[in-house]
Amino acid sequence: MSLTKTSELREMSDEQLNATLEDARKAMFRLRIKSQMERLDTPTELMKNRKLIAKIKTVQRERELGLGK
């Protein structure tokens, strides 16, 4: 999963954000399991995925509070 810019996330609809968040959470789960079982090909994937989840949740919270531009 590529690291998406926050501006791109803000352009997505709520449904797209929820789908992207679900995909990121599933990928994070798989990466965590894989990291426990064997060495990851790219150890930075965990960090990138965690940041993507945080960005999505931030955009969702901004919309909930009405802070979106």
CA distance 42 to 64: 34
CA distance 42 to 34: 11
17 domain residue, yes or no: yes
Closest by alpha carbon to 9, among 63, 69, 56? 56
pLDDT, averaged across the chain: 89
Residue with tokens 């994937």: 45
Q: Domain range for residue 37?
A: 6-65
Paired tokens of 12: 């997505």
| Angle, alpha carbons 57-62-64 (nearest 5°) | 95
Number of domains in the chain: 1
Model pTM greater than 0.85? no
Predicted confidence at residue 1, as pLDDT, reads 47
Domain holding 31: CATH number?
Answer: 1.10.287
